[in-house]
Structure 1
Amino acid sequence: MREHSKIKRGVYLVLDPGINRAVLLQKVKEALEGGVSALQVWNHWPAGYTEADKKALIKSLVDVAGALRVPVLINEAWELLQDTELSGVHFDDIPANFESIKNAVGREFITGITCSNNLDVVRWASQNHLDYVSFCAIFPSSSAGSCELVRPETIREARKMTQMPLFLSGGITTENLPLLKELDFDGVAVISGILNAASAKESAAAYHHALNKYKP
């Protein structure tokens, strides 16, 4: 089994598997060169995708990211951890059967969860020793879907509750990231800001630079 690092501060890239596979893999390679520190596969598979298709894409991503010890997580579909080398799972909501999931996977894996303004999620994540929390959405964003806008005071209260890594997501750009400099967080999660850029490498590097500038 390949060894993986835990979630590190920095730029967390969420991948849309609906993008042409060859194009997606090329963008991932570029983004990794630009300094992305974690990958998550969004559970939004194209119509007709089989389990074999999913596992083939996951294997390609793990092969590319594993050389740099960058973890690859799956959104929601934790069952894919059982027979792939995925590093972990990101939950959209508190799972009803977390202990059963851990037993079924049968190995250590990274766990994260999305939080809006409900600090009970942060409390649950802390009590259950998750690895990180991602707040969504910080700014309006089409890719953030139905996420409500997170209030700054929610993030401040969350930091008082836990020292686990906190990520911010939803509409974050290199231009508006300075607006968040007063908040105590560890990284940003990005989709279109990198995947839709002319150069994924340059965009990832720009996010990395902006994050280090305002959150050294």
Structure 2
Amino acid sequence: MNQRHKNFSRKSSGLYAITPDEPDSDRLLERVEVVLAAGATWLQYRNKSADASLRAQQARMLRPACARQEVPLIINDDWRLAAAIGADGVHLGEDDGELAAARDALGTDAIIGASCYDNPERARNAVAAGADYVAFGAFFPSPTKPNARVAKPALLSGAASLGVPLVAIGGITPDNGTSLVDAGADLLAVISGVFDAPDPDAATRAYLSCFNPPH
């Protein structure tokens, strides 16, 4: 597993929690703090419905909360915002610009991830360009992206040779997550399964149990 950046001295396996589209910044912080305290490994700030001003405000609010728990804060799509607030990294989709530009802006210590959907060649190219992790999915029907491309678990086992953490996303539950971990996923990325759960603390712990199933 890639250890060349200082952020990877922390865990790079477990729950990769992704924030919901929450317009109330105080409520977002409250919701996130529960998930961080329950053991989320990484946090990605994502709010597709917010304008630039609100995204900047919310991302800045989340940064100290993540720092207190030693959880990397990664910004969805926008490396400029990540640079502006001093986030730990950025996650880039296929339409979010060149990875090299993000690296130049964020520096060598930043965590930069790439969405690779169902495409192993895209993952290879991303790692060659300096990506620190790659994400595949959707593995299961997702309420967040109902029309997402479908990925197969074999993608994870096939990508093991890339030598970076592998993130699985898309409709993941505590019941089906273990199969993805068994296939090679290092992190399970989840939005609604955590933040829309009746008990986000319990949901977070349930996802973490996928990595240490009872014997």
Correspondence for 1:180: 180
1:6-17 maps to which residues of 2 (within 5 A)?
6=8, 8-17=12-21
Deviation at residue 115 of structure 1 after TM alignment: 1.5
Query: Is the 1:187–1:211 Cα contact (8 Å) retained in structure 2?
Result: no
Where 2:44 maps in the other structure, the secondary structure is strand
Cα-Cα RMSD: 2.2
Q: Percent identity?
A: 27
- d(CA) in 1 for partners of 2:22 and 2:175? 27
Q: Which amino acid aligns with 1:140?
A: P
Which residue type is aligned with residue 5 of structure 1? N
Match of 1:127 in 2: 128
- The one-letter amino acid of 2:126's match is A
Asked if the contact 2:7–2:111 (Cα under 8 Å) also holds between the matched residues in 1, the reply is no
Check 1:75–1:96 CA distance in 2 against 1; reply closer, same or farther (3 A cut).
closer
Residue of structure 1 aligned with 2:29, choices 2, 25, 49: 25
1:163 partnered with 2:182: no
Compared with structure 1, are the counterparts of its residues 126 and 98 closer, same or farther at alpha carbon in structure 2 (3 Å cutoff)? Answer: closer
Distance 2:86 2:44 in 1: 13
- 1:139-158 Cα offsets, whole Å, 9 max, x none, are 01121343211122222211
> Matches of 1:206 and 1:154 in 2, distance apart?
24
Q: Which runs of 5+ in 1 are unaligned?
A: none
| Deviation of 1:107 (Å) | 6.0
Q: Is the 8 A contact 1:28 1:200 kept in 2?
A: no
| 2:138 alignment counterpart | 137
Unaligned runs of at least 5 residues, structure 2: 1-5
Partners of 1:59 and 1:95 in 2: how far apart? 21
Total equivalences in the alignment: 208
SS in 2 for 1:139: coil
> Does residue 59 of structure 2 align to residue 58 of structure 1?
yes
Aligned to 1:5: 7
Give the secondary-structure state (helix, strand or coil) at the position aligned to 2:7: coil
| Cα gap change, 1:90 to 1:142, in 2 (>3 Å) | same
Following superposition, the deviation at residue 206 of structure 1 comes to: 1.2
Question: Which secondary structure state, in structure 1, belongs to the residue aligned with residue 104 of structure 2?
Answer: helix
Cα distance, 1:77 vs structure 2? 1.0
Q: Structure 1, residues 46-73: CA drift from partner, whole Å, max 9, x if none? A: 3xx342x322211110111101110111
Q: Which has the higher contact order (CA 8 A, sep 6+)?
A: 1
- In the superposition, relative to structure 1, how do residues 123 and 26 fare at CA in structure 2: closer, same or farther (>3 Å)? same
- Distance (Å, rounded) in 1 between the aligned partners of 2:182 and 2:121: 23
Q: 1:172 to 1:129 in 2, by over 3 A?
A: same
Q: Does the residue aligned with 1:212 lie in a helix, a strand or coil?
A: coil
Aligned mates of 2:7, 2:109 — CA distance in 1: 12
Cα offset, 1:18, TM superposition: 3.0
For 2:210 and 2:42, how far apart are their aligned partners in 1? 17
Q: Deviations over 1:151-209 (max 9, x none)?
A: 222222111x3121111111111122233354122120000011001221111011112
In structure 2, the CA distance between the partners of 1:163 and 1:50, relative to structure 1 (3 Å rule), is: closer
* Equivalent-residue separation in structure 2 for 1:105 and 1:178 (angstroms): 33
Moved more, 4-13 or 129-138: 4-13
TM-score with structure 2 length normalisation?
Answer: 0.87
- Judge conservation of contact 2:19–2:47 (CA < 8 Å) in 1: no
Residue 3 of structure 2 corresponds to: none
Question: Using the alignment, how far apart are the partners of 2:198 and 2:23 within structure 1?
Answer: 15
SS for the counterpart of 1:12 is: strand
SS in 2 for 1:130: coil
